[in-house]
Amino acid sequence: MQRCHVPPDRWQEAGIHPTAEQAHHLINVLRLKPGDRVVLFDGLGREVLAELVHAEPAGSEVSGRQGLSIRFKPIEALPERHEPALELMLLQAIPKGSRMDWIVEKAVELGARVIRPIICARGIVRPTDAAAKRERWQRVASAAVRQCGSAWETDVRPLAPFRAALEDVRSIDLFLVASLEPDARTVRDAVAACAGRPGRVALLVGPEGDLTPEEYAGARQAGGQPVTFGSRVLRVETAALYGLAVLQHELGHGLNR
């Protein structure tokens, strides 16, 4: 059964109206026809089995294509998902090449609810098209949400400098920093030392050249605790996914949807 995320503001009494981009994918890529059924979800835990009842040109151009207007009729409400007990945030320095796409995809599969791409002092990549990059990563995240069967949309936030990104962790219960420093402790020890069971957890993974001493100091001032992933030096994409997987193991009781 095909799945499609439709934002909550497009769920109306008269039916559910996907965006023009979603309409293009459903009609021109998946080749849906009136009478076909799909699972629609709003990214906040609500899912329904819905039937396509209307599809016609909208009379406008969308990205060089003829726009489409489509409408679905809800057929059956599926059991509503409870909000995941563990809310994971990944603050990720942008790596070289296309590896950020892969990190975003796999982080979503591992339950990351928020991803903040960041620019660090030793980072090699300095995007000049930050808005376009963010849109691309959000599309990658949305596709991963559909693929893995989650009912919760992942928010890929705009690219931010290191210091500005630390504002994201102000209301976090536990802030961990992947570290090569000698005083870094294991994720298990950091979780055990946390008062109560943390529900909102952030993981910061730096660039290929590691964080600078000033960035480590800034992260500590923001409440960050350096954690080690063992004696091996991991690539940044491996470190991000290893950290998320360990946090799911320690706090998430597996992968919450």
Same domain flag for 71 and 195: no
Sheet harboring 65-77: ordered strands across?
3-5, 37-41, 47-62, 65-77, 15-16, 11-12
Distance between CA 39 and CA 47 in Å, rounded? Answer: 7
Mean pLDDT of the chain: 89
Average pLDDT over residues 221-236: 94
- pTM equals 0.82
> What is the per-residue pLDDT for 67?
63
Whether residue 63 is predicted with pLDDT greater than 80 in this model: the reply is no
The answer to whether residue 193 is domain-embedded is: yes
- The CATH number that applies at residue 26 is 2.40.240.20
Whether residue 60 is predicted with pLDDT greater than 60 in this model: the reply is no
The answer to whether residue 257 is domain-embedded is: no
- The CATH number that applies at residue 121 is 3.40.1280.10
Distance between CA 181 and CA 160 in Å, rounded? Answer: 24
Same domain flag for 168 and 189: yes
Distance between CA 187 and CA 204 in Å, rounded? Answer: 13
User: Considering its fold, how many domains does the chain have in total?
Assistant: 2
Bridge partners (DSSP) of residue 246 are: none
Residue span of the structural domain in which 235 resides: 87-252
> What is the per-residue pLDDT for 55?
82
Same domain flag for 38 and 73: yes
Coil, helix or strand at residue 165: helix
Last residue in a domain, options 77, 95, 117: 77
Q: Which residue has the higher pLDDT, 56 or 12?
A: 12
Reported as a pLDDT band with limits 50, 70 and 90, residue 72 is very high
